[in-house]
Structure 1
Amino acid sequence: MTIQFTLPVILDGGMGRELQRIGAPFQQPQWSAQALIEAPHYISQVHRNFIKAGAEIITTNTYALVPFHLGQQGFNEQGTELIKLAARLARECANDNSGVLVAGCLPPVLGSYRPDLFSVEHAKPLLEIQIKNQQDDVDIWLAETISSISEAVMIKDRTRITDKPTWIAFTVKDEISSESMLRSGELVYDAVSHIAGQHVSAILFNCSCVERMEGALIAAKQALLDLGMTDTVQLGVYANNFPPIGDQHQANINNGISRIRDDISQDKYTEFAACWLNAGASIVGGCCGVSPQHINKLAKLKNP
């Protein structure tokens, strides 16, 4: 499938905090899954809010539909049907708005920001459930907040047998360092070199601080140049609006909801996005704490 948009392509923003803002059920450890379970109409409302703001691609609300957030029993009892529901709600909203595509979120199934928790043996069955129950309703796969090369390789290998392009979004360390690194400590350059190409048609960076994204893009662009893939693989960014996240962050604990930064206004986020575009990105959007108002500002960056 060829995606034809005027550039840059505009993604949506953070589902969880927008649910919280509009009064939907929202707490840890369920995160954005709680509204899907108790009041799914709020999920559709968030999708519509982002589309109205200018998002051209909306992402299924499947990020928290894993045992890490639902618990093993909750996932066993409800996971499959909730994944199907999340995909269907996104598809319905896209169908109501011409030109909008649906990205099927493939989350870090064993936990966010924690490459130390990852194993192919335990992750692969959960990934299979995500893919099987979304594939009829999505246009592309968007693997989000991927912390290691091994996790990205697993996803690439599995999505290869579908008929949909795959976008891999890596999360990078928020700490300042001389070279941009994934949360696993592996270099961004190496990650892109391993993953780009074939059906992986875009490499993105998400759920890290805005200040760390330009360095990740520079390393990724160099990798694509060395691979000869700058014309076939897109780059993108959708940062979070959180303070720095450390190596042992627990993203599913009660009262563990990160605060929104007060120094990244809508205008400031758009200034960062303009820098990302200058550094080689052609896809921009927002992750946690990035609202429809932010996306509306980003949409004004589009070429006429």
Structure 2
Amino acid sequence: MLILDGGTGRELARIGAPFRQPEWSALSLIEAPEYVSRVHQAYVAAGADVITTNSYAVVPFHIGHECFSARGLELARLAGRLAREVADGAGRRVRVAGSLPPVCGSYRPDLIDLDQARSVLAVLVEALEPHVDHWQAETLSAVAEARLVAELVAETAKPLWLSFTLEDEIADGPARLRSGESVTGAAEEARALGAEALLFNCSQPEVMAAAVRAARLVLGDDARIGVYANAFPPMTADAEANSGLDDIRADLSPAGYSAFAAAWQAEGASVIGGCCGIGPEHIAELARLRR
């Protein structure tokens, strides 16, 4: 089992880094990047095999169009460099995943603008490429976003990991993306695009096992399939992305989250980590689960 890191934004806030809406985790890159390094180091110390660049919020949606035009490339380069430095200093093999986010807002397939996304993601790809081991397009709400990312990173020749966010309201039925598209269709598209891994992130732990099961039916038992769930309450289809800080579930202690992880692993997940609200203590518990 490969262990991913956990959420960055909430961990930055927890350790006292500059943090507010709408900049979210990008504010630390702007004002106090040493905190970003501390978060990466905490996840490495907890046992993560992969740390993710703090580039998720380096988009106009979070930092504004003016700031992105003036400093987007610089900030994304900084995010890549900070992760690379921590990974190289880990004393063991730690990979760096280049985070490529949904440009127009998380959880909202209705807001997707592929033309805007193309121009923004091209900046992130240029900035991050020297520093990352693979691309991690994450919190994708629709298959169209995956197609765009695959096109943009093709010339880098670096592996692509695709990670979709799922409808939170369905715990017993077939797993679906927030666009309503099926996980089966997303897995078929991931295979067609040559993705090295298919993951599911930033959704309720309860919906992940069904998604892993559906993906494995398409991709086979040897496929690299992964999960990194969040600790939020269910997100409705009309949730306003970046409108404020969501509550964190009290039941998702490290032990509670690890119990979910064991179920995902039993279904065929070989890559497990955490998203928003899942911290270094959760990752340390996952590392113990692996042993």
Instruction: Give me the TM-score of the superposition, normalised by structure 1.
Output: 0.93
Structure having the higher helix fraction is 2
Q: Does 1:94 align with 2:92?
A: no
State which of 47, 53, 65 in structure 2 corresponds to 1:54.
47
Q: Secondary structure at 1:58's aligned position in 2?
A: strand
2 CA distance for matches of 1:20 and 1:71? Answer: 20
The alignment status of 1:33 with 2:26, answered yes or no, reads yes
Question: Does 1:249 pair with 2:243?
Answer: no
Count of aligned positions: 289
Partner of 1:191: 186
1:157 aligned counterpart, secondary structure: helix
- Is the counterpart of residue 299 in structure 1 residue 287 in structure 2? yes
2:102 corresponding residue in structure 1:
108
Query: Distance between the aligned counterparts of 1:197 and 1:106, measured in 2?
Result: 20
Give the equivalent residue in structure 1 for 2:147: 153
Task: Give the share of equivalent positions with the same residue, in percent.
Answer: 50
Deviations 1:160-201 (A, max 9, x none): 221210100000000026211000000110111112256411
Measure, in 2, the Cα distance between the counterparts of 1:198 and 1:259: 36
- Out of 178, 198, 203, the position equivalent to 2:198 is 203
What code does the residue aligned with 1:239 have? A
Q: Are the aligned partners of 2:108 and 2:241 in contact in 1 as well (CA < 8 Å)?
A: no
Q: Mark the runs of 5 or more structure 1 residues left unpaired by the alignment.
A: 1-7
Q: Give the aligned partner of residue 120 of structure 2.
A: 126
Q: Distance in 1 between matches of 2:105 and 2:63?
A: 12
Deviations 1:120-141 (A, max 9, x none): 2221111111101000000000
Do 1:160 and 1:199's aligned partners in 2 also have CA atoms closer than 8 Å?
A: no
> In structure 1, what residue type is equivalent to 2:277?
G
Q: Which letter maps to 1:167?
A: W
Corresponding position of 2:138: 144
Q: Take 1:14 and 1:180, find their aligned partners in 2: how far apart are those partners? A: 23
Q: Distance in 2 between matches of 1:161 and 1:243?
A: 39
Asked whether the equivalents of residues 147 and 193 of structure 2 are also in contact (C-alpha less than 8 Å), the reply is no
Q: Which whole-Å deviations, capped at 9, do the CAs of 1:89-138 have from their partners, x for residues lacking one?
A: 00000110120110000111121111111132221111111101000000
- Whether contact under 8 Å (1:156, 1:195) holds in the other structure is no
What is the CA–CA distance in structure 1 between the aligned matches of 2:258 and 2:235, rounded to whole Å?
A: 22
- What's 2:210 paired with? 215
Distance 2:264 2:11 in 1: 24
Instruction: Name stretches of at least 5 consecutive residues in structure 2 with no aligned partner.
Output: none
Name the amino acid aligned to 1:15: T
RMSD over aligned CA atoms reads 1.1
Give distance in 2, aligned partners of 1:235 and 1:15: 22
Quote the Cα distance in structure 1 between the aligned partners of 2:44 and 2:11.
13
Which residue in 2 is equivalent to 1:174? 168
Contact kept, 8 Å, 1:115 with 1:184, in 2: the verdict is yes
